[in-house]
């Protein structure tokens, strides 16, 4: 039975019975419910601060495992990066040297990732630095591994093409020079025989009688055939591919035409003294990737080590060139 409540009335000095309508009851109920809800929330927050639910404990264990895995992954990536650097070093300083190929520029291997920050969605996570650094290192290693795989594709092609490359390298002297007595003047500063001034001689001179055969020093295609009164006079340029070109100057006659394919040892012309020349000889140059290089490094098909040393001594002792 519900309790009856009374309220003291000072006017009548008596107790009046308190009558409550439905609205008041609802208002009282809602007030009680609100207070209970607030109290419940406070109690739950306090409970969660000091006590962990089984689910929370499970999530914490999972987070701890993930953090450990990220740390191990980061260390493994550092080890893989070290192995990859060793492979890159071998590629640039061994394989590409053997096959006469330029190394891959470090700017290409280590190129970064520009544009939008692709790791922004990870920066709000706990341990964001570790997660972002691991993701970034993984991307870098993947990119470098891809570049290295493409490099090995190129090296494989070079290996399969090695025979053609070796045949194309200018590896013999341009005239028959068995006793090396035709070696006249080598690479370096020389006194010009006509102008009598000190000039750099970008090649080697070989003396020989007019009409002596001149040979292509490697397989290739005749790139240019020119005639002039000065300079190299009648001269031929052969493109050997693989970055090599050779020039033959002061010819008496040509035996090739522009665009013609030649083999090492093919007769391309005959010794003369055309152009600015002080006597019958062949001026010979080797160019590698557009830059003149010392021809004496390329006579490995012609000479024994003893003959090579003798040829170097003869060419080095000459103080004057023939052109």
pLDDT tens column, 241-256:
989 999 999 999 999 9
Report the CATH number at residue 225: 2.70.70.10
* Residue 178 falls inside a structural domain: no
> CB-based contacts of 143: which residues, under 8 Å, 6+ apart?
111, 113
* Residue 45 falls inside a structural domain: yes
Q: According to the model, what pLDDT value does residue 18 have?
A: 67
CA distance linking residue 185 with residue 95, whole number of Å: 34
Domain final position from 99, 125, 160: 160
Q: What domain range includes position 12?
A: 6-50
Same structural domain, 187 and 311: yes
Q: Pick from 211, 203, 202: which is nearest to 176 by CA?
A: 211
* Residue 205 falls inside a structural domain: yes
Share of the chain above pLDDT 90, in %: 24
Q: Contact, 208 vs 282, CB < 8 A?
A: yes
Same structural domain, 40 and 111: no
Same structural domain, 129 and 204: no
Same structural domain, 68 and 131: yes
Query: What pTM did the predictor assign?
Result: 0.55
* Residue 176 falls inside a structural domain: no
In this prediction, residue 188 has a pLDDT band, given cuts at 50, 70 and 90, of confident
Same structural domain, 118 and 87: yes
* Residue 170 falls inside a structural domain: no
Has residue 57 got a pLDDT over 90?
A: no
Same structural domain, 45 and 63: no
Same structural domain, 302 and 202: yes
CA distance linking residue 184 with residue 206, whole number of Å: 5
Q: Contact, 224 vs 258, CB < 8 A?
A: yes
3-state per-residue secondary structure call for 103-170:
CCCHHHHCCCCCCCCCCHHHCCCCCHHHHHHHHHHHHHHHHHHHHHHHHHHHHHHHHHCHHHHHHHCC
* Residue 169 falls inside a structural domain: no
Q: How many other CB atoms are found less than 10 A from the CB of residue 53?
A: 10
What is the number of structural domains in the chain?
3
* Residue 1 falls inside a structural domain: no
pLDDT tens column, 73-105:
888 888 888 888 888 877 777 677 766 677 887
Same structural domain, 301 and 204: yes
Please tell me the least confidently modeled range out of 54-68, 156-170, 234-248: 54-68
* Residue 254 falls inside a structural domain: yes
């Amino acid at each position: 039975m519900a309790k009856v409540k009374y309220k003291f009335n000072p006017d009548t000095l008596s107790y009046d019975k308190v009558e409550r309508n439905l609205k008041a009851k609802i208002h009282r109920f809602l007030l009680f419910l609100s207070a209970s809800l607030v109290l419940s929330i406070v109690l739950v927050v306090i409970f969660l601060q000091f006590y962990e639910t089984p689910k929370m404990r499970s999530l914490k264990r999972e987070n701890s495992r993930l953090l450990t895995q990220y740390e191990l992954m980061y260390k493994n990536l550092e080890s893989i990066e070290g192995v990859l650097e060793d492979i890159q070093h071998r590629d640039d300083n061994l394989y590409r040297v053997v096959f006469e190929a330029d190394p891959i520029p470090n700017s290409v291997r280590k190129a970064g990732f520009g544009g939008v920050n692709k790791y922004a969605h990870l920066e709000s996570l706990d341990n964001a630095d570790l997660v972002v650094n691991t993701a970034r290192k993984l991307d870098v290693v993947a990119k470098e591994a891809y570049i290295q795989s493409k490099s090995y594709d190129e090296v494989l092609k070079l290996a399969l093409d090695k025979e053609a490359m070796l045949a194309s390298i200018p590896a013999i002297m341009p005239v028959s020079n068995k006793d090396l007595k035709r070696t006249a003047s080598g690479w370096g500063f020389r006194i010009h025989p006509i102008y009598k001034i000190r000039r750099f001689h970008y090649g080697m001179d070989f003396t020989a009688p007019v009409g002596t055969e001149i040979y292509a020093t490697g397989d290739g295609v005749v790139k240019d055939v020119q005639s002039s009164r000065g300079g190299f006079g009648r001269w031929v340029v052969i493109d050997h591919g693989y970055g090599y070109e050779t020039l033959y100057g002061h010819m008496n006659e040509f035996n090739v035409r522009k665009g013609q394919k030649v083999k090492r040892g093919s007769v391309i012309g005959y010794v003369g003294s055309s152009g600015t020349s002080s006597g019958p000889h062949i001026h010979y140059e080797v160019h590698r990737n557009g830059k003149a290089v010392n021809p004496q490094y390329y006579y490995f098909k012609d000479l024994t080590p003893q003959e090579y040393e003798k040829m170097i001594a003869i060419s080095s002792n000459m103080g004057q060139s023939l052109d």
